[in-house]
Amino acid sequence: MSVDVQVRPEVPAAPPSSYNRGRRVTARTVRYGLLFLFLLFVFIPVYVLLVTSFKPGAEAGVSGAWALPQNWTLDAWRSAWQTLSPSLWRSFAIAIPAAVVSAILGSMNGFVFSRWRFPGSEIIFTLFLFGMFIPYQAVMIPLRQLTGDLGLPGGVPTLIVVHIVYGIPICTLIFRGYYSTTIPAELVEASRVDGGGLLRTYASVVLPLSAPGFVVTLIWQFTSVWNDFLFAIFLSNTRNGPVTIALNALAGGQLTDYAASMAGALIASFPTLVVYIVLGRWFIGGLMAGSLKT
């Protein structure tokens, strides 16, 4: 009588814990090494800006960009601030109201397109988004003629109106996605049952829950308006335009003061840097809040 004996295959032994630990250490080292290289690549221009801005004007034009100043001075910063300070305040006067108004209008539009369906709503929303894909260069001359025909004064008032109009599509898109994914439909329906109309529902139910969306749109719009040069060069000049026009005038010409140009670039970029440092955490949270279904 034969007996069948089943032989189990040998199971390979698990690698030692020291091996796994070594792999994790290697992967972490490679990851942090790549991050350091990317960080170094990003901060190289910042280093050149800082170093050059503290050099005397004559030294900045002849010494190497990497070399530290032989004579540290703040003359370039004083010259840049004296040139840019009037236009800095005009940039604030343009960017703040343009960002706030376009964010509010985009919030209203986004709520309507996300929760209140009406005939032709998708077509109208598509037309809203169409404004985002028209190259600005294609409308500059007609826009200049239109603002002149409307009698809008050049400079700050015209740029505020233009940035509000061109900021509405992107703000509408952001708020539509945010309301569609984060505002429960039951809240809107409950407001309708209680007799709340469109404006009452928006003001009492939707607006208090819109802080993350407003953070995203305000940062986006403020940065876009602050860094704008194309609208500014067509609709303003160095006497009534934003800081980008003044910075271009500071860096232009045949005898460029490189130190003052570098200092001016740092001064002009400082407000947007502060905005991202202070509100960056809420900016990422607002983007994530509108990216997933709840």
Ordered by start, the domain boundaries in the chain are 17-53, 75-289
Q: Cα(123)–Cα(129) distance, rounded to whole angstroms? A: 10
Token pair 């505020």 in the structure block, residue: 160
> What are the tens digits of pLDDT across the range 93-139?
999 999 999 999 999 998 888 877 777 778 888 887 887 788 888 88
Q: pLDDT at position 204, please?
A: 81
Give me the CATH topology for the region 75-289.
MetI-like fold (1.10.3720)
* Higher pLDDT among residues 277 and 294, named by residue: 277
Residue 287 Cα distances to 91, 115, 210, 219, 247, angstroms: 26, 20, 12, 11, 32
> What are the tens digits of pLDDT across the range 35-81?
999 888 888 888 888 888 888 867 766 666 677 888 888 888 998 99
pLDDT-derived band at 292 (thresholds 50, 70, 90) equals very low
pLDDT-derived band at 294 (thresholds 50, 70, 90) equals very low
Going by C-alpha positions, the residue among 119, 120, 121 that lies closest to residue 110 is 121
Residue 293 pLDDT > 50: no
Q: pLDDT at position 18, please?
A: 67
Angle between the N-to-C axes of helices 75-115 and 243-251, in degrees from 0 to 180, rounded to the nearest 10: 140
Q: pLDDT at position 106, please?
A: 92
> What are the tens digits of pLDDT across the range 152-166?
887 889 999 999 999
Within a 10 A sphere around the Cβ of 70, how many other Cβ atoms? 9
Which amino acid is it at 215? V
Percentage of the chain beyond pLDDT 70 is 85
117: left (phi over 0), alpha (psi -120 to 50) or beta: beta
> What are the tens digits of pLDDT across the range 234-285?
888 888 889 999 998 887 665 677 888 888 999 999 999 888 888 777 766 6
